[in-house]
Structures are given as C-alpha cells and as structure tokens.
Amino acid sequence: MHRGRWLMLLAAAILAAGLGYLVFEARIAREFDALDSSSPARILARPWTLRAGGRVDPRRLIDHLKRVGYRSVSGRTPQAGEFSARGRDLLVGRRTLRLGGFVDPGVHARVRFRSNGRISAIRDAEGKDLASLLLDPEVIGTSLGEHGRDRVPVRLDEVPQHLVDALLTVEDRRFYEHGALDPRRIGGAALSNLRQRRVAEGGSTITQQLARTLFLSTDRTVLRKLREAAIAVALERRFSKQRLLEAYVNHIYLGQHRGTAIHGFGRAAQFYFGRDISELTLGQSAMLVGIVRGPSVYSPHRHPERARARRDMVLRQMHAVGHLDDARRDDELEADPEIRRPPERNFDARWYLDFLRRELAAGDAPLEPEGGGPTVISSLAPELQRAAETAVSKGIRSMERLRPRLREQAGPLQAALVALDPRTGDILAMVGGRSYGTSQFNRAVDARRQPGSAFKPVVALAALTPGADPSFTLASVLKDEPLALDTPAGVWKPANADREFLGPIRLREALEGSRNVPFARLGLAVGPDRIIETARRLGIESPLAPYPSLALGASEVTLLELTAAYAVLAAEGRRTPPRSALTVLGRDGTARRETMARSESVVSPAEAYLVTSALRGVIEHGTGSGVRAAGYRGPLAAKSGTTNDSRDAWFVGYTPELAVGVWVGFDDGTPVGLPGSRAALPIFTDFMIRVLGPRGGRDFRFPAGVERVDVEPATGRRAGWGCRGEPELFLAGTTPEAYCGYRPQPWRRRTLSPESPATSDDPGSFRRGRVRVRADGRDGPDAGPRAAASRSRTPDTSRGPSGRPAALPSPRGPRRPSPP
C-alpha cells in the first residue's frame, strides 16, 4: 500500500519534472529565436557612388577612404581595405559591403581622373569597365537595443572555412560528435586542472558557451554551471548543430569599445582588422579565435604581443590536427596580422539621429530601428555635417569673444543650422544647438521663432503671382512713407530698422534693402490670405496669423520649414518634402521602407527666378553683402532676418544644389543685440566656403517665361528714348506698357545705294542695310547725341561671365540697406 503510494508520487514527480522541463525548453527556444533574430540597427551616412563622367575632387575621395578605415599603400596592389594613388589613377581594394542582408562583394577597382577632376573610367582588376563604384558609407550611429551589444550578423556559409576550423580546433574538436555536454572533455579538463592546481583548461562545449553568452552571467558558481548545462541540453534538443554554430559565431563576446560590447566574429573582423569577415586571412582568423578565451587580456589593440602569441598557439594546434602543413604554418607565423584601429568619427550628428528615429517611428507604417537589425541608409552627408558643426561652434565663440555680455546671460547663446538638397529634399546636415551634451532640444526642427525679414521672399512671391488682383512686378513702385493702421490691438506703426523713409521705392529695392514699411504696404495690398496660401504651397505648416504684421515675419516658423521653403525657389518651383531616411534594409536584404523623393511643381520656374534674382541682389548690394566681404564669390540668393529687439537672427540662402538656413538666439528670448546680417550671416558664409569653396557651385538657370526690359528707376516705367533705363526682369506679358521718354519706333528696312553708304557719323545706320527710325520718322540717330550717350552709359549686366543672367543691380545703386 505504502509502496504503491510512493511509486505514484514518484511517477507524478517525474511527470511534473518532465512537463516543467518541456515548458522550460520551450521558453528557452522562444528566447533564443528572439535573441538570435534581433540585432543592432546600423545607421549609415549618405552613400557615395563614383560614376564615369562625374566630377570628384581626388583629395576628398582619399579623405573619405581614410575616414572609413582604408589604409594607403605603395609599391603593391591594394588589398581589401587599402588604396594607392598613382598619378591620375586611384587603385582601391573596395571591401565587401554589408548593408543589412544586402551584400555587395569586394572589388579591386582603378579610378582614372582627367585633369579637370572628372572621372574618365572605372575598371576592375581584369580591365573591364564598371558603370559605377559604391564606396563604403560612414557609420553615423548604432541603436544597440536593450542588450547593448554591437554585432554584425553573418550566415555560416559566409564565414571562411579556416575560421571554422580554427574555432573547432581550439574550442570544441568533437562538436559534431557529442551532445550538449562532452563528458570526455569535462573529465580531461578536470584532470588537467588538478595536476596544475589551477583552472588551466575549460570543459565547456560550444553550446554551453553559447548558453552562457545569451542567458547567463560569467559568475563561476555551481548553480550557474547547472543552469548552463540545462540550457545547453534544451538548445541541442531544439536546434541543429549548424544553427548553434552560426549563433555562436554571431554572439560570442570578443571585446569592448567605449562601453559597447563587441559580439560576434562579423563585427570583430571590422573592429580589429577593418575587413569583412569573408576577407579575413588565416592568421587573422586564428587571432580572433585566440582572443575568445579572454578578450580583455588578449585584445589586439591593447596587447598586440599577447594577441600574436595567442594566434601562434592556434596556428600550431591547427597544424597538429592536420589543418595546416608545415609550409603554411610557417608562413602564417611570420605574416603581419595587419591590426587596424577603428576610424574615429569626428562629428556629432545626434540631433540628426534623434530626428531620423522620430521619422522612422512616425507615419502609417511605424518602424522601430532597434528591432530586427535593420540598416538605415540616411541622407546625412558627413562632410557637410562636419562643416556645419565647425561653423556653428566657431561662430558662437567669435560672437562671445567680441561681445562678452553674450556670455553673461541666464542661458547660453544658441545657434542652429540645417542644409538641404533642393532637388531631392535630403537633409544633408543638421545642428540643433550649441552642445548636444548640455541640451538635446533640436532648435532646427522643434523651435518655432519669428523669422522677421527672412519671411519677405514669401510675401514677394505672393505679390508676383500672375493673374492676381492687384498684380505686382519687381518694378512696381511702393511707398516708403510713414504708415499707421488701426487694429483691434491698437494702432500699428511699422518702422524701418534705420528709422528713416526713402519715399517711392521699387519692390526689388525694398527686398534688397529689407525695407519694412514698403513690405507692410505690400502685404496689405496682397492680403494675408494670399500670403498664407503661398506659404502653404512652399511647405510651411506652422500656424500663420492673418494679421498685417504677417508680411514682416511676425508668425513663428521652424528653421527647417523656412529653409525648405527657400529650397523650392532653388529647385525652380518644385517642392520636395525634407527627408532623413532614404532606405531601411532588413536582415534579408529587402527594403522594409524606401522613402521616395516626391516632387511636385508648386510655383512656375519663371516666378521662382524673379524672387531668386532679387535675392541675388541682396547678396550683391543689400543686407547680405557681408557674404562677399567674407570671401564667398559664388552664385547665391539669400535673405537675412531679425525680429524686434534682435531676439532672433536668421540667414537663409541657396544655390541650385544647396539650401542652408541659420538661426541664432537665446532660448528664453533674451535679445542678441545683433541683426541676422551680423549674427547668422558669418556662420552661413563659413559653412558655404567650407562646403563649396570660395568660388561656389553651379549658376542659376535662366528659365523660359521671363523677359528682360530696361525700366526707369524712379517710376518703374519702360525706358524710352531720352530716358535712362536699368535692366529688370518680368514674367512674360507683365512688362510695363507706359514709357518714360519717347516711345521707340519699330525697325524699318531700306536698301543703301552706293551713293548713300553708311557713315561713321550716323550712329543709327548699319552697313548691312538696316537703320533705326528717329522719333520724328527720319532715318538717323535715335534721339540725338544725348540719348545715345545715355544708352552707352547703361551697362548690360543681365548676363554673367558664363553667359547666363547675372544678378540685376539695384537701379539706384546700393540704397543704405537697413538690417532686416
């Protein structure tokens, strides 16, 4: 009776233990799958692709290769991760690129340059032409997730066989023969440790080491060893040997870098040797296997001699079991392991990374970068980001040095910068403040501030809209006279920064000189609804109050919004929303998200060019002339902005390939005491020179639908005979009909006979048989010597050295531009 009861209890206990273990095994299997499938998200910079015919500065190309860990060699063919400059040729051993699950095999390429910097050809090692060559992008960030491990997952078939041989030789020679535990090895290790009276040899199998790495701590206790054995048995029951070996290759701990744990041979190959795992030499594989025993003790970076001795031990063991012959062993023992230190990133893009993560988590299909090991191809251009951070830091220090009171405020002076590609909307650089370490608030994206006069181009564009009532042109005359307007909040009296009035002034001059009162009148004539509608077309989404002061930039916007609005003008009226993530690749190599550049035409190229021409005048002889004084000579359209009491200073400008915005101010609204042309302009100019050089980039294209006509400066009328004119641009069909002086008469042909040849004292005649008709209908000079002299004094400045239209000068010369 009692015996039967005990048997029943024993059976129940065994059954409960079995069920408990099955539950435990299932939990271990689920957690293993989750750990093995999750890996860090790697965020890469904007890729750089070389193409035949493209223009590239070879020095910039070499700098990029050095930044991503390539080494310069001479006298031999570059191997993977190396390059060699030979005359006009650049030989590159391009490493295997691993972008998520997408793998681009390594290639040895020869890039040949012409004297003008253009690439004439790209060929592989066999001399075959390559259409393009994708270079290694810089890693700008890594989202490690909750486990804080940095690793690069690889498939077992991508691992060199000599690394697998070395690993099994040293760590578990009977891996494919035993189960979770190896009693023979455990016994041998115990005897060895007893003889040496210390723990000289471990008895753990690869599966046990994997269980410890994934689930347990490194504490040496009996309980931990029992749990390790139980987990190892569960793993061996659920998964194949190949799957477990692949997991070991991807998860084993192999070092530390700045507080981040390096796990897996894929990441260790990059970290210690600057190579993809598939490109490791036998000696390098042996060294990696050698440091498994103690990554901190045998680190190739900190203890190269110890790491080399450990490598030699692995090579000798491989020779002893027959993996290497005598000659191969001796060659590898003498070979240099070519240890590389990881390249240091010399820029801080954390504001940009925060914005990118926010974009990935938003939208209809949220994507968390921490799960599933995605690789994010971003829009960031590292060279521009470095230039932006340097320009902002240098600009702030310069202002504080010249004006010590700026350092005496309650909070530090701040500045923000954002740079966009107008054609694609790509965010190329972003600086959100003075220091990310002290303030993570992104002033380029999240701070809404009044733009002041930097908003005037939006008002000008609204005024120039064809078919609107009333209609305006750049030659329209505005009143720069005192203005008082009754509003519900009281009488509004806008004033110019210099507290003076210039009387009648053309719209172009008012924009170039940043005159507030004429633009206040223009805003009243155009109406706030039309201004807001124009701002919305340009992509400004912040609330805009329909008050008269809207025309002077009284409504708050973000720096990114305003810069993107200027980018529409740079792109000839096409709006492409800003984007930070280009593509997100999953572990299987497929695109989990691809952000296409959605471009739409919101303004005609002709309208955009009219505003651009006026903003070019701002640079030549307006409030932005400091750009030229600072040494930037390239094509540029820009506008400064300053709010009341100089609380906010702005400078936003663009070229055909780059739109840049800069803001300077205090977070609490403390007055800076400087206009945008003195606070933000120096930072803007420094950045442009660093990126495009003093000579700048491409010039603006003169579009169809724009006409050039000479107008009289004081009245805006079309210049006739006897009336001095200056060149001005108009939309087709909007040129002034009223004339100043005599209206020119049409050409009339007549045939000259031998008796009446063209003479040098007849300026209106031509030897080819065509003359101009005088105002009185007679052949001869247009309107006498006075008119001819007047015309000869009017230079043709409508075209620059390249033959394209240049910035049109102010018809009255530089009118004492006031701070915006």
The residues annotated as belonging to the active site are 171, 453
Peptide bond into 470 cis (omega under 30): yes
Q: Yes or no: say if 167 and 314 are a contact pair by the CB < 8 Å rule.
A: no
What residues contact residue 634 under an 8 Å CB cut-off, 6+ apart?
Answer: 655, 688, 692, 693, 694, 695, 696, 697
Q: Yes or no: say if 744 and 764 are a contact pair by the CB < 8 Å rule.
A: no
Q: Measure the CA–CA gap between 258 and 69, rounded to whole angstroms.
A: 18
Cα dist from 497 to 174, 674, 744, whole Å: 85, 12, 41
Return the residue matching tokens 């691993």.
98
What is the amino acid identity at position 678? Answer: R
The partner residues of 638 in beta bridges, in order of sequence, read 653
Q: Measure the CA–CA gap between 169 and 624, rounded to whole angstroms.
A: 71
Cα dist from 163 to 21, 248, 278, 336, 578, whole Å: 35, 13, 10, 17, 45
Residues in the chain: 820
* 536: nearest Cα among 453, 470, 599, 602: 602
* Triad 367, 368, 373: Cα angle to 5°: 105
- One DSSP character per residue, 433-481 reads SS-TTT----TTTT--B--GGGGHHHHHHHHT-TT-SS---TT-EEEES
Tokens linked to 763: 């300026």
Tokens linked to 443: 């002033």
* 715: nearest Cα among 510, 477, 470: 477
Q: Is 103 left (phi over 0), alpha (psi -120 to 50) or beta?
A: beta
Cα torsion 347, 351, 353, 359: sign: negative
CA atoms within 13 Å, Cβ hemisphere of 489: 5
Q: Measure the CA–CA gap between 359 and 367, rounded to whole angstroms.
A: 9
